[in-house]
Amino acid sequence: MNPYFGEQKTPKNPFTEMYARSQPTKKRGSFFGGMARFVLLIFIGAFFGGIGVAAQGYIFFNQGLPSIEKLKTHVPPTVTEFYGSKGEIIGEFAHQRRYVLTIDQIPKLLQEAFIAAEDKNFPIHGGVDTEAIVRAAKRNLTAGTLGQGGSTITQQLAKNLLVGGEKKFVRKIKEAILATRIERALTKEEILCLYLNEIYLGSNAYGVEAAARTYFDKGVKDLTLAECAMLAGLPKAPSSYSPKRNLQEALKRRAYVLERMRQDGYIKTEEEFEIAKNEQPHISTRTNPYLRAAPDFVEHVRRYVEKKYGTDTLYKEGLHVYTTVDLDMTKKAQNAMEEGLRELDKRQGYRGPLRTMNVKTMMEFLEEKTRSMDAPLKFGQITEGVVTQIDAENIYVRMGSYVQGGNRKEYVGQIKIDPNPKWWVRQPYMRAELRTRNFASGDLPFQVGDLILVRITDPNEKRRDLYLKKYGKTDPEMKNYKEYTEDMVSYFPLEVEQEPIAQAALMFRENRTGQIRVMLGGYGSDSQFNRAVQARRQAGSSFKPVIYAAALNKGFTCSDIILDSPLALSVPGTGEVWRPKNYRGGFQGPVTFRDSIVKSRNIPTIKILQQIGIEHTKGYARKLGYTSPMVENLTLALGSTNVTLEEQVNAYSVFPNRGYYVPGISVTKIIDRNGKVLEEHDLPVFVDDPAQSDLPALQKVSHSTMRTTGGDGDIPDRGAPLVKRRIDEGTAYIMSSLLQGVIKEGTATVLKKIVGRPDIAGKTGTTNENVDAWFVGFSPDYTCGVWVGFDTEISLGDSETGGHAAAPIWGYFMREALRNVPVKEFAPPGTVEFRKIDPRTGLLTSSSEGVPEVFKVGSGPAQIEPRLIKGSRWDHSGSDLDQF
């Protein structure tokens, strides 16, 4: 069914009475009436003589004309809209930006404005306005051009929807024929509704609703008379009369339309006319602030929708796509990522200026920056500045001026040269092609003319010092200090900044629902490459939880003793020997299973993998949701497999989810333009026993996880996904406990200070040469992962581990994400028990030095002897080789 109108009714013209009231009464004189009849009699013979020719012409042009029925079934392309989790519009996709309205949704004043501007006789003509054609012909003859048209609204509709862009003469004839047919088939309301929804009004706005949003940031229902007139002036030349591109011409055109409306009786009073004529336009200069708030997430969803439903459906069919993204959380994640990357960048060292300018170029730069500065600079803001002077104590930087109301405030600042070495005087570790200037360590890397980035710091202390230095003798009590600070040149202390060149990705999701709340595919928004879902990088030690969970499944316990000692492995087919090392070298001797993962010991992890087997571990990784290919050797224990951040986050969420795997989702519902639900992802319900998967849904849902739907009892929502447990509940809880230890006393203790709460757990990851840094962690309700690195395999720098480069970003974000979330313990299931052990031996103990440890029920240690892994050795000689 046509979206503009439903079933056809008897044609009715609601505009005729309105038009008749608006037109002045014409007096007919008897002389002129007689002359008209005389002329008609003279030419009547010629008319009938040519009627045969006209008939032949009509038959010729009538051939191949499209059916008017096409208009009755016309479905216009319209905008697909993406919505955030709180209902914000976060994305729009369309070849033609159009929002379809019914005629009742279009204000009468706006309809009248278009009639006055485009087709004053629209209410009474039958599709072709002979009066307008004669009027246009006279103007064309006078001007000596063919500029004036005379097409009616109905003809324009025929051109846009039925005829297309044929040669002008042929097209005009076809337009006229089709226009008369359209007038017989559709009512005036239906014709005008089609026209006002289809007409192109510039800036990719098709139809009046899109134009109102584009130019005035409001819907048509809120337009003023002056705004209606401005929109009505656009069809003649949308680019030339665009208020965004040529406001003065748009105002002239608006005045013309208002005058036509007054002459045609649509503006009733002189006061109404004067108010509209003098109204100051408020043209929208901004875009929807939400449209660029989560670009990586929106692009991820766009690809999903396009792949599933096709390009035409995405860009033409006006889908409503409801997503899971939380824009508030996304902003917090962006801030955390920027803070962490800037800290990393400073540790990597200063690379040099953006460029170096001569005096002339410096002045041109400062003048241009002054012209483009639309707001005063703020404390904490990062901006460009040019070095203008260097002395023994300071580097002086100018940042342009802000001009308002004839007052000019110049921004000048200084960078203090501290006796203690700053980060920016260290030689960057990275290779030369990433630097813009080479300098020796300890040298001052600046010179006059350097364009650099600076951060404006709190100026209060510096301002007081400057004031006392200048006015201390006359105003020692600083009584006029406030006035002085308002009028003075803005003189700021500055800190050197530079844009980070390392990249990062972050993903944050709910554990039980799988809903992805944040997805950052990189730092900045220029790249189309989403590192959260598209990049496969070595996982490093962040893959170790898979090894340890698989080992718990094989019967290992947290108190098992593993020997951290030299290991030599032969590499099949090469004759080479692999001698793996721990991250900082050295060996700890006997260590517990817990200590091995908490301290991320490599050698014990390899020995565990030897015992449980590579195939078992790969199968376990698949249970946790990993789909990437796995390596087939013992380097798997050190995370040599390439995985995505999305895989990591989904896998880690299984632990706080008590063993249930809930895949991440980014879309909750998709509805087409007619309100039909194309897909809907309800909240999952959890199946207690995977063996029950073939039972009817109501029989296999745990009563403890059913959700009330408002009926007589607790039943799962129709269509809710049934989620199976992938690993046993005891293993999931023990892994949560082990990974809490990583933060309490392991490789991520920095998070104790940053986040400052006990209900978090996770694991760091670092690859060879510090190329990739990871931290993936969770709370009982949320899982978040962070990756940091370069797109090419370049080292992040010495000591830039997962705990140093990635964990702080995770912490800065999770601190804000969990700020209003009460502390919540990881609840132990009934399948585990706690025993006190001696961490040196792994034996049960009653000593005060014992520590509580968690075990699956019945698997705790005896008090007789330590449990050594079968096959482990206290000594490994280079000649006693295990198989790689």
CATH number for the domain harbouring residue 227: 1.10.3810.10
Residue from 396, 401, 411 nearest 369 by CA: 401
- Averaged pLDDT of the chain: 85
The whole-number average pLDDT for the span 455-477 is 72
Please check the confidence at residue 700 and state whether its pLDDT lies above 50. Answer: no
Other C-beta atoms closer than 10 Å to the C-beta of 250 total 23
Q: Considering the domain boundaries, does residue 263 fall inside one?
A: yes
pLDDT of residue 72: 83
The whole-number average pLDDT for the span 778-790 is 98
Dihedral pair phi/psi, residue 368, rounded to 5°: -65, -40
User: Helices (DSSP H) in 311-459: which residue ranges?
Assistant: 311-316, 327-348, 359-372
Other C-beta atoms closer than 10 Å to the C-beta of 322 total 17
Measure the CA–CA gap between 363 and 22, rounded to whole angstroms: 62
* 647 is a catalytic site residue: no
pLDDT of residue 52: 52
DSSP label of 802? I
Residue percentage of the chain with pLDDT more than 90? 63
Residue 842 or 429, more confident? 842
394 backbone φψ class: left, alpha, beta (φ>0; ψ -120 to 50): beta
Residue percentage of the chain with pLDDT more than 70? 80
Instruction: Say yes or no: 491 and 527 in one domain.
Output: no
**Catalytic residue selected from 22, 112, 118, 647:** 118
Please check the confidence at residue 732 and state whether its pLDDT lies above 60. Answer: yes
Please check the confidence at residue 1 and state whether its pLDDT lies above 70. Answer: no
Residue 299: partners with Cβ closer than 8 Å, 6 or more residues away: 521, 528, 530
Residue from 270, 266, 272 nearest 19 by CA: 266
Q: Mean pLDDT lowest for which of 339-348, 500-509, 682-691, 777-786?
A: 682-691
Measure the CA–CA gap between 456 and 436, rounded to whole angstroms: 23
pLDDT of residue 706: 32
pLDDT of residue 459: 56
Q: Dig out the tokens for 486 from the structure.
A: 């308002």
Structural domain ending residue among the three candidates 441, 471, 497: 497
Is the distance from CB of 851 to CB of 785 less than 8 angstroms?
Answer: no
Q: Considering the domain boundaries, does residue 274 fall inside one?
A: yes
- Tokens 């390009």 label which residue? 311
Q: Considering the domain boundaries, does residue 384 fall inside one?
A: yes
Q: What pLDDT, in 10s, does the model give residues 166-185?
A: 557 677 788 888 889 999 99
Residue from 21, 13, 17, 70 nearest 188 by CA: 13
Helix (H) or strand (E) holding 647: helix 645-652
Residue ranges making up the domain that contains 260:
15-23+38-278
Instruction: Say yes or no: 470 and 515 in one domain.
Output: no
- pLDDT band for position 430 (50/70/90)? low
Q: Considering the domain boundaries, does residue 843 fall inside one?
A: no
Is the distance from CB of 9 to CB of 187 less than 8 angstroms?
Answer: yes
Please check the confidence at residue 708 and state whether its pLDDT lies above 80. Answer: no
Q: What pLDDT, in 10s, does the model give residues 855-874?
A: 999 998 876 544 555 444 33
pLDDT of residue 30: 45
Measure the CA–CA gap between 799 and 599, rounded to whole angstroms: 16
How many structural domains does the chain have?
A: 3
The whole-number average pLDDT for the span 815-838 is 96
Please check the confidence at residue 25 and state whether its pLDDT lies above 50. Answer: no
* 118 is a catalytic site residue: yes
178: three-class secondary structure by DSSP: helix
pLDDT of residue 880: 43
Residue 780: partners with Cβ closer than 8 Å, 6 or more residues away: 511, 656, 759, 824, 825, 826, 827
The whole-number average pLDDT for the span 750-768 is 97
Measure the CA–CA gap between 213 and 204, rounded to whole angstroms: 11
Range list of β-strands (E), 107-263: 205-206
Instruction: Say yes or no: 442 and 537 in one domain.
Output: no
Residue from 554, 511, 513, 512 nearest 731 by CA: 554
End-to-end CA distance of the chain: 68
Instruction: Say yes or no: 45 and 192 in one domain.
Output: yes
Residue 169 or 624, more confident? 624
Instruction: Say yes or no: 268 and 361 in one domain.
Output: no
Is the distance from CB of 84 to CB of 194 less than 8 angstroms?
Answer: no
Is the distance from CB of 797 to CB of 773 less than 8 angstroms?
Answer: no
pLDDT of residue 69: 84
Q: Mean pLDDT lowest for which of 505-514, 562-571, 593-602, 620-629?
A: 562-571
pLDDT of residue 41: 46
Residue from 589, 595, 593 nearest 611 by CA: 593
Instruction: Say yes or no: 639 and 786 in one domain.
Output: yes
pLDDT of residue 722: 85
Residue 483 or 500, more confident? 500
**Catalytic residue selected from 22, 401, 541, 559:** 541
Q: What pLDDT, in 10s, does the model give residues 214-225?
A: 999 999 999 999
Is the distance from CB of 297 to CB of 519 less than 8 angstroms?
Answer: yes
Instruction: Say yes or no: 189 and 231 in one domain.
Output: yes
Structural domain ending residue among the three candidates 813, 831, 849: 831
Domain harbouring 805, CATH code: 3.40.710.10
Other C-beta atoms closer than 10 Å to the C-beta of 252 total 12
Q: Considering the domain boundaries, does residue 666 fall inside one?
A: yes
Is the distance from CB of 193 to CB of 142 less than 8 angstroms?
Answer: no
Residue 88 or 171, more confident? 88
The string of DSSP letters for 387-416 reads EEEE-SSEEEEEEEEEEETTEEEEEEEEEE
Domain harbouring 392, CATH code: 2.40.50.140
Q: Considering the domain boundaries, does residue 845 fall inside one?
A: no
pLDDT of residue 258: 98
Residue 761 or 703, more confident? 761
CA 240 to chain CA centroid, nearest Å: 33
Please check the confidence at residue 591 and state whether its pLDDT lies above 90. Answer: yes
- pLDDT band for position 688 (50/70/90)? low
Q: Dig out the tokens for 551 from the structure.
A: 């080992």
pLDDT of residue 832: 97
Residue from 105, 104, 118, 112 nearest 272 by CA: 112
Other C-beta atoms closer than 10 Å to the C-beta of 626 total 21
pLDDT of residue 601: 97
Q: Mean pLDDT lowest for which of 140-149, 345-354, 753-762, 828-837?
A: 140-149
CA 369 to chain CA centroid, nearest Å: 29
What is the Cα gyration radius of the chain? Answer: 37
Residue from 2, 384, 403 nearest 190 by CA: 2
518: three-class secondary structure by DSSP: strand
The whole-number average pLDDT for the span 41-52 is 51
pLDDT of residue 142: 65
Which residue(s) pair with 322 in the sheet?
83, 669
Please check the confidence at residue 145 and state whether its pLDDT lies above 80. Answer: no
pLDDT of residue 883: 56
Instruction: Say yes or no: 506 and 493 in one domain.
Output: no
Which of 118-122, 406-410, 455-459, 571-575 has the highest mean predicted lDDT (pLDDT)? 118-122
Structural domain ending residue among the three candidates 246, 278, 310: 278
Please check the confidence at residue 24 and state whether its pLDDT lies above 60. Answer: no
Q: What is the dihedral of CA 120, 121, 126, 131, to 10 degrees?
A: -100
pLDDT of residue 392: 87
Q: What pLDDT, in 10s, does the model give residues 330-365?
A: 999 999 999 999 999 999 989 899 999 999 999 999
Q: Mean pLDDT lowest for which of 45-54, 95-104, 272-281?
A: 45-54
Instruction: Say yes or no: 269 and 415 in one domain.
Output: no
Is the distance from CB of 883 to CB of 570 less than 8 angstroms?
Answer: yes
Measure the CA–CA gap between 764 and 762, rounded to whole angstroms: 7
Q: Considering the domain boundaries, does residue 683 fall inside one?
A: yes
CA 117 to chain CA centroid, nearest Å: 41
Please check the confidence at residue 606 and state whether its pLDDT lies above 90. Answer: yes
Instruction: Say yes or no: 261 and 383 in one domain.
Output: no
Instruction: Say yes or no: 447 and 409 in one domain.
Output: yes
- pLDDT band for position 203 (50/70/90)? very high
pLDDT of residue 724: 87
DSSP label of 220? G
Q: Considering the domain boundaries, does residue 566 fall inside one?
A: no
Residue from 717, 659, 724, 661 nearest 694 by CA: 724
Instruction: Say yes or no: 387 and 493 in one domain.
Output: yes
